[in-house]
Amino acid sequence: MKVTIISPDLYTYGSMVIGGVLKDAGFDVVLTRELSADTDIVLLSLYSTLHLMDEKIRDFVSHSNRTVYVGGPISAYPDIILGELDADAVIIGEGEESTLALLNNGISEDIPGIAFRNDDEIIRTKPEPAKMERPFPLIPDDIQNQDIRGANVYIETHRGCIGACGFCQVPKFFGNRIRSRDIEDVVLEIKEFKRYGVKRIAISGGTSSLYQYGKSMNESAFIELLQAIAEVMGNRNVSIPDMRVDYVNEDILHAIRDYTMGWVYYGIESGSDSILKDMRKGVDSEKNIDAIKLAQECGVKVGGSFIVGYPTETPGDYELTKNFIEDAFLDDIFISIAEPIPETNLANMVLRTDDSANPTFTEHKGEYKILKLTESEARCFDLQLHGQMCKSMPGIVTDQMYQAYLKEARQQGSDVRAVTRLLQKYRKKDVI
């Protein structure tokens, strides 16, 4: 049986892991970024809610005449997937074991972690966590040409997060208990990626220093992990995408300085304690600023990400975020408009908020009125401009940058409106 895993636009780590599991089980499996139906079964790995509204993907699923199973991060909301795509089943959550069972036995209520239609009803079985030991991922030959924010690939060191951030689906997808891989397995896998030409890797999409959390020596295990990865890749070729500000200390930051490209990225999100509370971040602005200063004292560069347009964010809250950025002297700044990923706390907040009070839809009537932006778009645009001028190395905003920031704000605004409308559609159907 020929199985094609389609991971649109980029080879996600999850799609490579599933490919490796299937190859190890004897399937003739191919991983591609193209919508290709030259196969018996299609596994469509989707990571963005926007994929559900992509006409190319919708057409492909409708007309492929193949069995199509959908998995990936969006599988946390299978009812919406089955409402939008003409797929045969959804593989919910961690798919290593359920994908194998589905391919071997076909759709059945006995398989954990799948959803499928049965007449007018959607049957959904409870997902189970997968084992952390597994074969090598299926690595495509052109992986070295992939560039995801500077890295060829993001690799996984553990699953789960002890946080409960309201906009994030990681805890729901992987659970609150941290399950870590053995350092030896991670290192062998990295050597395999290197053999395929990978030059830059990023480790773990969640909070990296939670590696081996819950076990004694968790901190030294994380440092040992970084050191071992650096020995294979070279320290300037390793990056760590995200860290919680309450899970760093001097030893961890020194290890980041010594064994990685020397940057830490904090999800700061807001300068308003009231919004941080609404986001369920579990930290306040003081904790955020302390973690930034500590990293700077340890010789680590700091990137900070911020979210604007939370449903409860007032102009006053937004001003506090601008003030925070002025005080923080960050080395780089990333701005997102709050995206209500289905089944998150943020999605529930958005569904309870009337459009007339939701910055995603309200018209901006202030400084950028002439640009015809929504309030969220205006804040996203303004904060990018502000961030550029308040970084540790302030830069002049060129005309080209101004236009790029404006385009980015408009694109994000349009995407978040589309996702919000999708949510509202399924609330009306009483699915959510």
Site residues for ligand SF4 per CB under 6 A? 161, 163, 165, 168, 170-171, 206-207, 242, 244, 267
Dihedral pair phi/psi, residue 77, rounded to 5°: -125, 70
Pairwise CA distance, residues 356 & 13, whole Å: 39
| Closest approach of ligand SF4 to the CB of residue 155, in Å | 16
Angle of CA points 337, 343, 345, to nearest 5°? 60
Of 369, 370, 382, 390, whose CA–CA distance to 408 is shortest? 382
Give the Cβ contact number of residue 147 at 10 Å: 10
Q: Which of 64, 48, 59 is nearest to 9 (CA)?
A: 48
**Between 244 and 417, CB nearer to ligand SF4:** 244
Of 114 and 346, the one with the shorter C-beta distance to ligand SF4 is 346
Alpha-carbon distance 27 to 12, whole Å?
20
Across 270-309, the runs of DSSP E, i.e. the strands, are: 301-308
CA dihedral 397, 398, 400, 402 (to 10 degrees): 30
Q: Which residue's CB is nearer to ligand SF4, number 122 or number 289? A: 289
Q: What is the dihedral of CA 315, 320, 326, 330, to 10 degrees?
A: -110
The CA distance from 396 to 384, in Å, is: 12
Nearer of residues 43 and 268 to ligand SF4, judged by Cβ: 268
Question: Least separation, in Å, of the C-beta of 165 and ligand SF4?
Answer: 3
DSSP labels, 86-99 = --SEEE-S--HHHH
Q: Which is nearer to ligand SF4, 129 or 171 (CB)?
A: 171
Tokens matching residue 89: 């089943």
User: Could you tell me the smallest distance in angstroms from the CB atom of residue 69 to ligand SF4?
Assistant: 26
Give the shortest CB-291-to-ligand SF4 separation in angstroms: 13
- What is the nearest approach in angstroms of ligand SF4 to the Cβ of residue 210? 8
Q: What gap in Å lies between CA 196 and CA 309, rounded to an integer?
A: 41
Least separation in angstroms between CB 171 and ligand SF4:
5
Between residues 61 and 419, which has the closer beta carbon with respect to ligand SF4? Answer: 419
Residue 244 CB, nearest approach to ligand SF4 (Å)? 5
Minimum distance between the CB of residue 339 and ligand SF4, rounded to whole angstroms? 13
Kind of pairing between the strands at 121-124 and 114-118: antiparallel
Tell me the β-bridge partners of 158: 180
Q: Taking a C-beta distance cutoff of 8 angstroms, is the pair 358, 368 a contact? A: no
Whichever of 237 and 285 has its CB closer to ligand SF4, that residue is: 285
Distance of alpha carbon 213 from alpha carbon 241, whole angstroms: 18
Task: Kindly tell me which of 27 and 77 has the beta carbon lying closer to ligand SF4.
Answer: 77
Nearest distance, CB of residue 280 and ligand SF4, angstroms = 8
Half-sphere exposure of 192 (CA within 13 A, CB side): 16
Nearer to ligand SF4 among residue 170 and residue 300 (C-beta): 170
Give the span between the Cα atoms of 340 and 80, in whole angstroms: 14
